[in-house]
Structure 1
């Protein structure tokens, strides 16, 4: 039975072998390959390059589905474009769709640089069959944890961000340094971004991780102030999350209460798990009581080792 080259790319994608997937897909000049190339960048959390490849595939980036939906739609399109093999006349059962069996709770703050550094690994976890990532914003830098962005704190933040970049490879741009850290009368306050993520959780919950990573790229790469609700609403609009964007522009008491409940639950989780600081991972299902903390360092090491820890829960 012959195998379409893009099927091999899909196999690498599902196995988390991103480099191998990229190496194969870039040698195919078809529009299907461009779509799949865009999906690979989506899986990595790189929305800018993903949009570029979607454009090459003549697909509308901002009206796309979730990552899982895009992969399923691509697989269907690829199957429809591949002629049947005359030697493959035996009818085979269709594979059963995978269902999440392990829940990974991600404790984080949207203004945490180390949380941003974990974005590629989280995208891979989210795309792994049998794994579901649940976001739990801790509000670490909101409310009493917020503070003015003065020159001393900006210098400290930039030095810390440079260390993160050296250790993980995640970019922190000069635009971020000049337009966010050096902004006069700026604030270091994750409350608005946490509220915006809660709006996504209430309207398009499957896309909350995507929204978080878009906020992170807007701040650390594009140099946009993600403490400003207007910026957050614009980012959500660009993602096609219009209902969430409307809530951010005109927040309701119900939305604010939901955010406070999420933060309180995340902090209770941290206390119960004995976790200190963010990011943190908790593996298991809170309903069954089978949960354990993996610690934030697991997000920066070998992905296969992390996945083994997750699936052993």
Structure 2
């Protein structure tokens, strides 16, 4: 049953977070199934920002983590990504990725969750750096957005400022791991599900939280 006022949710993710890539399909299915009653915003976290923005080879745990992610969520990692891992020189810079998301979601008709998924495919399937402006042109075309406008937005100080604002909001929400899906009600903010939750489990958790709030 639809409520008159949309239920507010926040998805805190990082484009370079493998667990977020694994969680993506379930979250998309959940968002589609509950589209008539939720309002979902997507915020970037700064997982690999500042001194942590390093070549992927600086994080030797990643291949093992990917195996576990694939096993638990069913996602697949593409040949382009595997080649990028083997090469090891791509710098994972979450500030650049967050700027890219800000540029994409600022466009008329853009869906932030679709943009986030397209960015993760660019990295985890094709192995393309999310610091490359051309990547955002390609994503814009894929999503039916104006590639020139997206490229201009990506290069603008406003998008970088918005990316930094995302990082600040995520910290203020107390998020310390990704992916994190938060439910906002008049009673406060609660975490919904976890990295390996199915769409059905997320919907069930949402219903349970709302029932508890209504009963309170």
TM-score (norm 2): 0.83
Q: In the alignment, which residue of structure 1 is the partner of 2:179? A: 279
Q: Is the 8 A contact 2:56 2:89 kept in 1?
A: yes
Unaligned residue ranges in structure 1 (runs of 5+): 1-96
User: Aligned in 2, Cα 1:301/1:208: closer, same or farther, shift over 3 Å?
Assistant: closer
Where do 1:91-130 residues align within 5 Å?
Answer: 101-127=6-32, 128=34, 129-130=36-37
Q: In the alignment, which residue of structure 2 is the partner of 1:182? A: 86
Q: In the alignment, which residue of structure 2 is the partner of 1:210? A: 114
**Is residue 292 of structure 1 aligned with residue 190 of structure 2?**
yes
Q: In the alignment, which residue of structure 2 is the partner of 1:308? A: 204
Q: In the alignment, which residue of structure 2 is the partner of 1:194? A: 98
TM-score (norm 1): 0.59
User: Aligned in 2, Cα 1:192/1:205: closer, same or farther, shift over 3 Å?
Assistant: farther
Q: Is the 8 A contact 2:44 2:98 kept in 1?
A: yes
Measure, in 1, the Cα distance between the counterparts of 2:198 and 2:70. 17
Q: C-alpha displacement at 1:192, in angstroms? A: 1.6
Query: Larger relative contact order (C-alpha < 8 A, sep ≥ 6)?
Result: 2
Paired residue secondary structure (2:87): coil
| Structure ID, larger Rg | 1
Q: In the alignment, which residue of structure 2 is the partner of 1:226? A: 130
Q: Is the 8 A contact 2:105 2:115 kept in 1?
A: no
Q: C-alpha displacement at 1:187, in angstroms? A: 0.7
**Is residue 149 of structure 1 aligned with residue 149 of structure 2?**
no
Counting matched residue pairs gives: 205
Q: Is the 8 A contact 2:30 2:202 kept in 1?
A: no
Deviation string 1:155-205 (CA, Å, 9 cap, x unpaired) is 421221111101111001232111x22335321212222101111232247
Q: In the alignment, which residue of structure 2 is the partner of 1:257? A: 161
Unaligned residue ranges in structure 2 (runs of 5+): 211-216
